[in-house]
Amino acid sequence: MDIYDSAMILAAALALAHFLSIALAAWRCRPAQGLAIAPADAPGVTLVRPLRGIESHTRETLAAALRLTYPTHEVLFCVADGNDPVVPLVRAAMAERPDVDARLLIGADRIGANPKLNNMAKGWREAKYDWIGFADSNLLTPVDYIERLMATWRPGTGAVSAPPAGSDPTGFWGAFECAFLNTFEARWQYAVDTLGHGFCQGKTLFVHRSLLGARGLAPLAEEPAEDAALTRVVQSQGLRARLVSPPFPQPLGARKPLEVWARQLRWARLRRATFPLHYAPEILLGYVPAALALAIGAYGRDWSIAGALGALFVVWYGAEALLAAIARWPLSLASLPSWILRDLIMPALWCAAWAGDGFSWHGATLTASDPGREAQAR
């Protein structure tokens, strides 16, 4: 076997992985049929929503959190700073729904360097129910959000989670964010979960209080990201993290290119720091590595390189478009160029994740390799 044979085998393997992940994700992410219904004896649930600042759809997400149909639940809005501009919006939203058991908690418990986790901690402490869910502020929760979390729970589960599905993008850079969130990140997370290797994603976390015991959220401060830490806790107890199907929407609105890059770099560095062996193969994902391998193989066989790459391009991105259509994710004229740009910059993103350690998050500069301290300013 020569280098050209090896290149063709690699191209075929990468294409097969691409199409298999799309098939699995299409099955898992197809729209739900009807509303989930809670059983008559459903236990009480506390939903904690950590907030910071005002985002493009804050009023919508606040209102949605107060329209849940689950029979017995409370909603705890958590804000670290009483002067945060989101506070008046929270109070107004609660005033419009006095029938809902909801409270606003202000302050931060310093349990680690993670500012989001410090904000979440008081919600865990004040929760009146032992089933506790955390939903990020920019997640648009459907009315049966809690019912769907509960329906995903089964014996052997330690946590239920879900990645976000980008929705309502504005302009090209909103579509670019969707290119990462939906047909790349959500796709691979659901494919891996279907194969029995799920992991938690911080947009939605749902656990029973007994999982963490008397230490509360402190074990989640032992990793730079609370979702990675929760994944380790679940796995250490011989349990499994499961993903809700389909994922919940995150309205995006307008985005800026550097904003998208910074977010993806932060997530990449966190994945690299916490699960390096799982992160390393990400350099092989996307159209570029498969196309390079195919070009080498085609050259060795005297095939038309342009023809081979063109055929791969059509089926590669055609399958991605099919996934978006099945899942009813945003699909527009901006989708294809945003997918292409994403795949072109992914090698640079992968290299940047290995080259550095710091990232900015919620106003703090942190380091991915040491969850206990903030990074030195550069």
One digit per residue, pLDDT tens: the chain, 378 residues?
Answer: 789 989 999 999 999 999 999 999 999 999 998 999 998 889 999 999 999 999 989 999 999 999 999 999 999 999 999 999 999 999 999 999 999 999 999 998 888 888 999 999 999 999 999 999 999 999 999 999 999 999 999 999 999 999 999 999 999 999 999 999 999 999 999 999 999 888 999 999 999 999 998 889 999 998 888 999 999 999 999 999 999 999 999 999 999 999 999 999 999 999 998 889 989 999 999 999 999 999 999 999 999 999 999 999 999 999 999 999 999 999 999 999 999 999 999 999 999 999 987 766 655 666 666 655 444 332
DSSP secondary structure letters along 222-286: GSSSHHHHHHHHHHHTT-EEEE-SSPEEEEEEE--HHHHHHHHHHHHHHHHHH-HHHHGGGGG-S
pLDDT number for residue 363: 59
The two beta strands, 358-361 and 240-243, are unpaired
**Domain ranges (residues) in the chain:** 3-26+274-361, 32-254
- Of 101, 103, 141, 136, the closest CA to residue 122 belongs to 103
SS (H, E, C) 278-293: HHHHHHHCCHHHHHHH
What is the CATH superfamily name and number for domain 32-254?
Answer: Spore Coat Polysaccharide Biosynthesis Protein SpsA; Chain A (3.90.550.10)
pLDDT number for residue 365: 66
> Cis bond leading into 247, ω under 30°?
no
pLDDT number for residue 187: 97
Strand order through the sheet with 204-208: 102-106, 73-79, 45-51, 131-135, 204-208, 157-162, 240-243
Segments in 153-225 forming alpha helices (H): 171-180, 187-194
**Token digits of residue 86:** 């989101």
CB-count burial class (<10 Å; 0-12, 13-18, 19+) for 30: middle
pLDDT number for residue 375: 40
pLDDT number for residue 370: 60
- Of 161, 99, 101, the closest CA to residue 129 belongs to 101
Determine the residue type at 293: A
pLDDT number for residue 3: 92
Measured from the Cβ of residue 199, the count of other Cβ atoms closer than 10 Å reads 24
C-beta of residue 329 within 8 angstroms of C-beta of residue 167:
yes
The two beta strands, 157-162 and 73-79, are unpaired
